Amino acid sequence: MVRWCGLSLLSFTLSALADSFANTAIVRSIELGGSLVQVTTTFAAKALEANSKVYTVALSDAEKQTSSWLEARVKGQAKQLQIVDRGADSNGVHLLDISLPQPLALNASINIVLETIQTHATHPWPERASQQDPQGLKYKADLLVLSPYHTAVQRTKIRAPSPSIHSYTTPENVGDFTLDAPVTKSGATVTYGPYNNVAASANEQFVSKHQQPVFVHYDYEYPVLQVPKLKRAAEISHWGANLNIQDDIHLRNAGPALKGHFSRLEHQSQTFYKRSAPHVIPGLTLHLPAGIRNTYFYDLNGNVSTSRLRTAPSVPKEAQTSQYSLLELKPRYPIMGGWNYTFTLGWDSPLADSASVDKATGKYIVQVPVWTPIPASVVNEAEVKIILPEGATDVEFATPFPVVSSSLSTHTTYLDTIGRPAITLHFKDLTERHAQPIFVTYNVPLSAHLKKPIAVAVAFFSVFAFALVTRRIDLRIHKN
Amino acid sequence: MPTAFPLPSDLSPATVTNTASLLRIVALSLISGAAIASRLFAVINFESIIHEFDPWFNYRATRVLASKGFYEFWNWFDPTAWYPLGRVVGGTVYPGLMATSGVIYNFLHALNLPVDIRNICVMLAPGFSALTAWATYMFTKELKDESAGLLAAAFIGIVPGYISRSVAGSYDNEAIAIFLLMFTFFCWIKALKLGSALFGTLAAVFYFYMVAAWGGYVFITNMIPLHGLVLILMGRFSSRLYVAYSSWYAIGTLSSMQVPFVGFQPVSTSEHMAALGVFGLLQIVAFTQLVRSHVSSKQFQDLLFLALVTVGLLGFVGVVGLTYKGVIAPWTGRFYSLWDTGYAKKHIPIIASVSEHQPTAWPSFFMDLQFLIFLFPAGVVLCFHQLRDEHVFVIIYAAMASYFAGVMVRLMLTLTPVVCVASAVAFSSLLDTYLDAAEPAEAADDASETASASGSNSGSKKAKKATASAATPGSALGDIVAAATPAKKGEKVKGIFGLDTRLAIIVNAFGMLAFFVFHCTWATANAYSSPSVVLASTNPDGSQHIIDDFREAYYWLRQNTPETAVVMSWWDYGYQIAGMADRPTLVDNNTWNNTHIATVGKAMSSSEEVAYPILRKHDVDYVLVIFGGLLGYSGDDINKFLWMVRIAQGVWPEEIQEPNYFTPQGEYRVDDKASTAMKNSLMYKMSYYRFAELFGGGQATDRVRQQQVPKIGPTLDYLDEAYTTENWIVRIYEVRKEDLLGRDLKSANAFAKGKKRKRSKPVSRRRAIVN
């Protein structure tokens, strides 16, 4: 089918691929949200070659850009499959190789589930809304799921959070694939397809001929949260048995910008009648770790006294409990569409809850979460700085997913003599799924532990010695 | 020698000295601890935050100093203050406070102690109050003895009159100035006592620090010369005075001229002429003394005395003449207002509008000093009793400071140290007398018998009274004086007999001290520890409820307006807006330009049509008003409004007239009966815009003024409500830009609302916008 266009080397690989599998069905379901859109694509594939080990999926360039989280599983199994990104080809198609758990025999079939979370995939429409207006969002997707293999049937279900869908695109020129209505809507779901007999589509020719964008304009009843910048500093203290975490958060309401001006009167009456506008962030509810203490929430103007915290008792590191401390955080002002709010949130937690010692090597292992998720929000840029104890050596770290960049530096704070090693990691487009621990291992020799008491002792003794000497020196010119 | 109670006899003098020394150190450190701790109410009840208005500027300047370094701070031109004029901060500021914090900040950071600059600023005043206690101890020690010094230190450590200006977060010049004041005075007295150039120089150095830190340095500049002059007139001229004064004046004046804000003032303004005059007089007197020591002729001395008076008079006339010719700047308005309390109200309404420039109310003396105010005269009288040079100083200080404290509330601060010192002298004399175990040598038997008899016969309370009255013939003061002077021979022996007499007085005295501590704690906790940026109220369940509208509004400005947006508000909030919202302001608490302030006052007190061109000409983007009507916050702009009117009237008497803002009956009202000028004023409109709607058709009441606001509130055509805080305390309005179609905003607004345009009026309105 695609063999005749084999002009480039790439097409050879494609053609080679095209032989190995055929898709019996592809079902893509898209859960629309605010900042985050969850896309689950199920590929029912049949092996055309014996001993097929690698199944390849294709994403368009735009889709790859917005997909910040990507995982593949065999349907019904919990284990994640390894994904290797082949990078973009010249056609603007990304190919991802998924390694199958075991090689497939000829004509054997397998169901592969690809889950992605898209960020920055929606935008407010209309772009401005006044205080009483509802909040509309627009989502753009591609009509067809691309695949390097031939697909017997595929469909796309787009599920909005509420049945009030203002509009959706009716695709044209899909007569090749279906004779029925190309799109149907029932309740909150818009279904594109089924489209039958789709050729191997991960090539430019197919894309330019058949691919087309579809838009869904829907009502969203919750605020659209975005964190343009997050700076986390985690300071490990062995002397204090403490892990201090401090987040500098820039929060932004990415919903429609406020049209006109903010009227406190209207806001107060809306709050009073409990029909607050969907695009107002009156506050946040955060799940902080259990066992935290000395929690603080302040901004550039000082302490913000309008929040509540219910702490849960500390849980041991290995315990599988879902206990957490609940923070009801209320900013100084309700964050209307397009408004910003920067603040600092921090807490101390027992080091024992997140640290352990590797018995074999004697190294300390500390886990620091990449971030503490703000529900339904996306972090555009994150900087995580992990400050290790003074004198830590053999520092190694492992991140749950690739970093944008990382660097080592020295951080000097209270009672330090030579400063503490610090790891700085940069991430982008974090979602709730990214809230996983970073593991750091390091050695602290005894001499490094003793540095602080020695420094303090030396400082005090030098003061005493100074006093001792000055008492005994007579600087008078005339001895009386 | 008979004693009233047994004394240990087996102690060596060395042990006594060492123990006393140790006890003194322990007492001083405890006093320092108490001084710091009692200033922390604000931090514990609220948070580590900068208080009030001026401290916000100091804090902002300190941040510049800490982050950019001293030279950057020195040359700092702030384009965001007094928009569009700007302010040369480095040259118009007393840098001592910021420099102190900067030095502490850099020192701590050099030691790897990265303390936040805000915490240094917040804790600076309590820290320096501990130093003040120590300086007062040193000062009083020179006057009487160590025990009086410790009492004075304890008094100044917790006295509300000083705490009012030095709680944690009150990051103002006074925070360090009182320490410098006391320490300069101590160095001066020490220099005078010893005739020491070293201490004279030290006094000069601390005087320089004081000049760099607070405008009140003029108090020292005049106190020391006055002391010198009085000593000369008392015939107490000595080489010690000459050395001390000359070293202080020469070095102090030269160094004080290094502060850019002071510059050549020490040689060109009237406030500093007394110091120069006394310096000259001292030279002449010294010369006379020199001549007299060589020529011993009575007539020659008389001649010299005559010459001295002539030269002195000529000098005085010369200074007056120069002042009239303008070479020497005359007294400034603030100084005139010290002599004539009505002066400011007539000529400089801005000074009069500040509450801390009002004359002091009598109760506040008791509030700020409690029982010290009764002991203070006693202490001054005791100073007359000894009348060494340093006692003369305290007497002059007491007289001057008492007067100034009566004239201006804020000068209570300069009175407080001398009150503490004098009271400590009096109190410790009392304790010395009654704690001394020694009984009069020739005990008059009958006196002691009656005392003990009455003590045993009647009830304990009566006995105390009886013994007290028996032991105090005449007055308590006379008794102290009698006890301090040895009884003359032949007379009836006076003194204190028995233990009960002593106990009665001492229990009373300690009772007074205990009540003083209670009063200080209460006054500090309730009256002086509110940051005024954050307000507190109590929930029905007794928990504290924080009202944080100011920071809410400032933070909103900071986060959601363009960085160049100019904010207009009354000058009280200028520093806070610059510090917390980081936006340019038209006027602020550095009230140097009366016309600019009057412009804001005019804009606030005129109608929208008149105010709009003013706002546009000054590039104003947002207007901020404080409105307390919903919550009952009485320090709001409507209550300050008459000052805006008055200040505007001072510059534009034709356009703004104060009487127009009153009802014909002369009442200041905001309800239906409010005058037309009041109702049309921008301030009124911004305060009450949509306020009545909040009551949902019910009767809207302004809780500050207890008046019922009209149900149909004012409308705004030239401004838009941009933000109102949770409790409506701060309301921010955005100034509209000119209409794109060239209409004036009023008719554009009417068109947008679908109202029919009246034929006759728009023509004249259009003309108005052209102007």
pLDDT for position B456:
39
pLDDT for position B410:
85
pLDDT tops 60 at residue B771: no
Q: Do B47 and A303 touch (CB under 8 A)?
A: yes
Residue of B nearest to A302 (CA): B49
List the one residue out of B19, B21, B25, B34 whose CA is nearest residue B154.
B34
Of A265-269, A287-291, B766-770, give the lowest mean pLDDT range.
Answer: B766-770
Question: How confident is the model over B253-283, as pLDDT tens digits?
Answer: 999 999 988 888 888 888 888 899 899 889 9
Length, in residues, of chain B: 771
A417 touches chain B (CB under 8 A): yes
List the one residue out of B441, B425, B456 whose CA is nearest residue B495.
B441
- Span B118-142, average pLDDT: 94
B559 touches chain A (CB under 8 A): yes
Q: Which residues of B touch A337 (CB under 8 A)?
A: none
Angle between helices B96-110 and B174-194 (to 10 degrees): 100
> Do residues B117 and B105 lie in contact, with contact meaning Cβ atoms separated by under 8 Å?
yes
Question: How confident is the model over B150-190, as pLDDT tens digits?
Answer: 999 999 999 999 998 899 989 999 989 999 999 999 999 99
Single-letter residue type at B544: Q
ipTM for the predicted complex: 0.89
- Span A9-34, average pLDDT: 73
- Span B714-740, average pLDDT: 89
Q: Do A333 and B722 touch (CB under 8 A)?
A: no
Q: Do B552 and A265 touch (CB under 8 A)?
A: no
A333 touches chain B (CB under 8 A): yes
Model confidence band, residue B480 (pLDDT cutoffs 50, 70, 90): low
For A185-235, give the DSSP string.
Answer: EETTEEEEEEEEEEPP--SHHHHHHH--EEEEEEE--S--EEEEEEEEEEE
Give the pairing of strands B566-568 and B620-626: parallel
What's the rounded Cα separation, in Å, for the pair B654 and B648? Answer: 10
Top mean pLDDT of A370-379, B290-299, B454-463 is at: A370-379
- Span A6-33, average pLDDT: 69
* Chain B (697-736) residues lying within 8 Å, Cβ to Cβ, of chain A: 720-726, 728, 734
- Which helix (H) or strand (E) segment is A93 a member of? strand A93-104
- Span B535-553, average pLDDT: 86
pLDDT for position A112:
93
Residue of A nearest to B720 (CA): A261
- Span B210-226, average pLDDT: 92
pLDDT over 70 percentage in chain B = 89
> Do residues A132 and A204 lie in contact, with contact meaning Cβ atoms separated by under 8 Å?
no
pLDDT for position B486:
52
* Chain B (289-328) residues lying within 8 Å, Cβ to Cβ, of chain A: none
Q: Where in chain A are all domains bearing CATH 2.60.40.1730?
A: 225-454
- Span B550-575, average pLDDT: 92
B47 touches chain A (CB under 8 A): yes
Tell which wins on pLDDT, B346 or B14: B14
Q: Do B723 and A341 touch (CB under 8 A)?
A: no
Question: How confident is the model over B228-252, as pLDDT tens digits?
Answer: 999 988 888 899 999 999 999 999 9
B686 touches chain A (CB under 8 A): no
Question: How confident is the model over B285-297, as pLDDT tens digits?
Answer: 888 788 777 776 7
> Do residues B187 and B202 lie in contact, with contact meaning Cβ atoms separated by under 8 Å?
yes
Q: Which CATH class is domain A3-219?
A: mainly beta
Q: Which residues of B touch A130 (CB under 8 A)?
A: none
pLDDT tops 80 at residue B515: yes
A263 touches chain B (CB under 8 A): yes
pLDDT for position A207:
85
What's the rounded Cα separation, in Å, for the pair B66 and A444? Answer: 35
A268 touches chain B (CB under 8 A): yes
Q: Do B112 and A413 touch (CB under 8 A)?
A: yes
- Span A150-177, average pLDDT: 89
Residue of B nearest to A267 (CA): B726
Q: Do B552 and A302 touch (CB under 8 A)?
A: no
pLDDT over 90 percentage in chain B = 43
pLDDT for position A270:
84
Model confidence band, residue A343 (pLDDT cutoffs 50, 70, 90): very high
Residue in the structure block whose two tokens are 């302490």: A303
Model confidence band, residue B755 (pLDDT cutoffs 50, 70, 90): low
pLDDT tops 80 at residue B346: no
B60 touches chain A (CB under 8 A): no
Give the pairing of strands B620-626 and B730-735: antiparallel
Tell which wins on pLDDT, B748 or A111: A111
* Mean pLDDT for chain A overall: 87
The runs of H, that is alpha helices, within B214-356 are 217-233, 239-256, 265-268, 273-294, 298-325, 333-339, 343-347, 349-352
Q: Do A305 and B560 touch (CB under 8 A)?
A: no
Residue of A nearest to B734 (CA): A261
pLDDT tops 60 at residue B378: yes
- Span A323-327, average pLDDT: 88
* Chain B (142-201) residues lying within 8 Å, Cβ to Cβ, of chain A: none
Domain residue spans of chain B: 177-295, 547-737, 742-771
Question: How confident is the model over A238-281, as pLDDT tens digits?
Answer: 988 999 999 999 999 998 988 888 888 888 888 888 777 788 88
pLDDT for position B479:
52
pLDDT for position A9:
41
Return the half-sphere exposure (C-beta side, CA atoms, 13 A cut-off) of residue B693. 14
Residue A142 neighbours by CB distance under 10 Å: 18
What's the rounded Cα separation, in Å, for the pair B632 and B195? Answer: 60
pLDDT for position A442:
94
- Span B97-103, average pLDDT: 94
Fold of B547-737: Rossmann fold (3.40.50)
Q: Do A262 and B724 touch (CB under 8 A)?
A: yes
pLDDT tops 60 at residue B98: yes
* Chain A (376-395) residues lying within 8 Å, Cβ to Cβ, of chain B: none
B116 touches chain A (CB under 8 A): no
What's the rounded Cα separation, in Å, for the pair B689 and B551? Answer: 22
pLDDT tops 50 at residue B473: no
Q: Minimal Cα–Cα distance from B218 to chain A, Å?
A: 35
Q: Which residues of B touch A302 (CB under 8 A)?
A: 47-49, 551
Q: Do A302 and B554 touch (CB under 8 A)?
A: no
Tell which wins on pLDDT, B478 or A450: A450
User: Three-state SS across B426-471?
Assistant: HHHHHHHHHHCCECCCCCCHHHHHHHHHHHHHCCHHHHHHHHHHHH
pLDDT tops 80 at residue A59: yes
User: Cis omega (within 30 of 0) on the bond before B84?
Assistant: yes
* Chain B (513-532) residues lying within 8 Å, Cβ to Cβ, of chain A: none
Q: Which residues of B touch A268 (CB under 8 A)?
A: 694
pLDDT for position B768:
45
Tell which wins on pLDDT, B500 or A249: A249
Residue in the structure block whose two tokens are 């997909």: A67
pLDDT tops 70 at residue B769: no
What's the rounded Cα separation, in Å, for the pair B696 and B690? Answer: 11
Model confidence band, residue A378 (pLDDT cutoffs 50, 70, 90): very high
* Mean pLDDT for chain B overall: 85
pLDDT over 90 percentage in chain A = 40
Model confidence band, residue B496 (pLDDT cutoffs 50, 70, 90): confident
Quote the CATH superfamily of domain A225-454: tricorn interacting facor f3 domain (2.60.40.1730)
Q: Minimal Cα–Cα distance from B323 to chain A, Å?
A: 47
pLDDT for position B185:
95
pLDDT for position B493:
74
Q: Minimal Cα–Cα distance from B628 to chain A, Å?
A: 15
Question: How confident is the model over A405-436, as pLDDT tens digits?
Answer: 999 999 998 888 888 999 999 999 999 989 99
The phi and psi torsions of A420 (rounded to 5 degrees) equal -110, 145
Q: Do A264 and B552 touch (CB under 8 A)?
A: no
Residue in the structure block whose two tokens are 């305060």: B687
Q: Do B694 and A263 touch (CB under 8 A)?
A: no
Q: Which residues of A touch B548 (CB under 8 A)?
A: 304-306, 332
